[in-house]
Structure 1
């Protein structure tokens, strides 16, 4: 089922020295970290802290990822990182994400991630709580389905 969020989400972050290679360009894997943080902040902004979800027996784990690199980010750049849900299933979410340079809106990297909802003890799939599904959809409850 496709998810339709009501408003765009963007997380601001800065490129630090530790994020770059010797040439001052962001090391490719660090874009994945920026996108992970944006997904976490997306959930937090909806009222769902991952630490609280974990204490309730629920974890989100990355099932698959894909990234395309368009232009480099550099030391001290301010970045805007989106985290939009493309698709919601009973026990997974598919995110489309972009990393853009704030000062000129240049697309630097984009990614797609499938994030699975699992039990903390067994790491087996579990259904997302209805309140989370509702918050992510922005449209009201979705019927369960994979």
Structure 2
């Protein structure tokens, strides 16, 4: 089951054409991943301070399907898709909240994001603690 985070499109999110600037989807996805971790009881600063390691994006593949516009209400979803010893992969979507009750949301953008677990000091990969991995699973 995917975690969802609501986002409203503001003026600052749009380009001269009145649609969401493509790079801002990365910001929306980042915020949703941060809130997903927080909902699981793991603040980014807390992980860094207590475990001496942090998550960093190592790969991002995005696909843009339809534009979002000023004042649109979006849902940004995050779901764990897989993991290795030192990274996780999440699937994310930006969905246009439906205007009609019961109507399915429209997928605007989708991404596969790989996030490495690295040592705070050296930025070298580290093994993700097994207890943390267990908590990330749905």
**TM-score between both structures, scaled by the size of structure 2:** 0.92
Match of 1:141 in 2: none
User: Is 1:99 matched with 2:94?
Assistant: yes
CA distance in 1, matches of 2:94, 2:17: 20
Return 5+ residue gaps in structure 1 as ranges: 1-6, 139-146
Deviations 1:30-84 (A, max 9, x none): 0011011111111111000001111121111111111000000001111101111
Tell whether 2:39 aligns with 1:83.
no
Detail structure 1 runs of 4+ shifted over 6 Å in the superposition.
none
Residue 133 of structure 2 corresponds to: 133
Aligned with residue 40 of structure 1, among 27, 34, 57 = 34
2:117 pairs with 1:122: no
Unmatched tracts of structure 2, length 5 or more: 100-104
Q: How many residues align?
A: 132
Give the structure with the larger strand fraction: 2
Q: In 2, Cα distance between the equivalents of 1:78 and 1:58? A: 34
Deviation at 1:108, TM superposition (A): 0.3
1:23 Cα offset (Å): 2.1
Q: RMSD across aligned C-alpha pairs, in angstroms?
A: 1.0
CA deviation after TM superposition for structure 1 residue 86, in Å? 0.6
CA distance in 2, matches of 1:108, 1:119: 35
SS at match of 2:33: helix
TM-score w.r.t. the length of structure 1 is: 0.87
